[in-house]
Amino acid sequence: IHRGTGADLGYTKIGNKNLIMPGVMIAHDCILGNNNILVDNSALAGHVRLGDYITLGGYTLVHQFCILGSYSFTGMGSIITMDVPAFTRVAGNPIKQAGLNSIGLERKSFTKEQISNLKKAWSEIMSNTRLEVRFTNEVNATPRPKIEKPIAIQRFFDEACSIFQPQIMPPKKATIMPP
């Protein structure tokens, strides 16, 4: 675990009840939430932010400045080079979304109704957003589903919408595909 640098936060913050297994590297100016599991030989580059209840599979590498939303899960050997929305499962190199982290949510005592609502919300956001070219205005203009929003679903919308910020320039003649 590396300390922070004067050029940024000046500290590295590790939350409570994190399980950090052998060989894990946490670089400077990282912020980890609570109750995360970082499996053997995972590595976080500088300035990475992890929410709460995240599981990083073994040998997962996270590029600098990436944000992983709460309750997300990475498969073994994943190489994370972009932000990962809350409640999402990703795997591979480059990473591909593998759906909602349903099993992780069941293990964290989410009810079947909460998981069903999260699946609806996840589908709504993911069907209206292309990860390759992120359009903030498209996400903000997308009507949110009219479902009851307990705290977990509100957190999902807040984290997912904050993650979908422009990170690369869209092609000059980009078209938005209808859902």
Query: What is the 8-class DSSP label of residue 86?
Result: T
Out of 4, 29, 57, 69, the active site residue is: 29
Indicate which residue of 4, 33, 46, 51 is catalytic: 46
Does the annotation count 28 as an active-site position? yes
Q: How far apart are CA 90 and CA 167, in angstroms?
A: 19
For the chain, the helix, strand and coil percentages under 3-state DSSP, each to the nearest 5: 25, 20, 55
Q: Which segments within the chain are labelled E, that is strand?
A: 13-14, 19-20, 25-26, 31-32, 37-38, 43-44, 49-50, 55-56, 61-62, 67-68, 73-74, 79-80, 88-92, 95-100
DSSP notation for 6-45: TTTTSS-EE-SS-EE-TT-EE-TT-EE-SS-EE-TT-EE-
Catalytic residue (one of 28, 51, 83, 104): 28
Identify whether 46 is a catalytic site residue.
Answer: yes
Q: Which residues are catalytic?
A: 28-29, 46
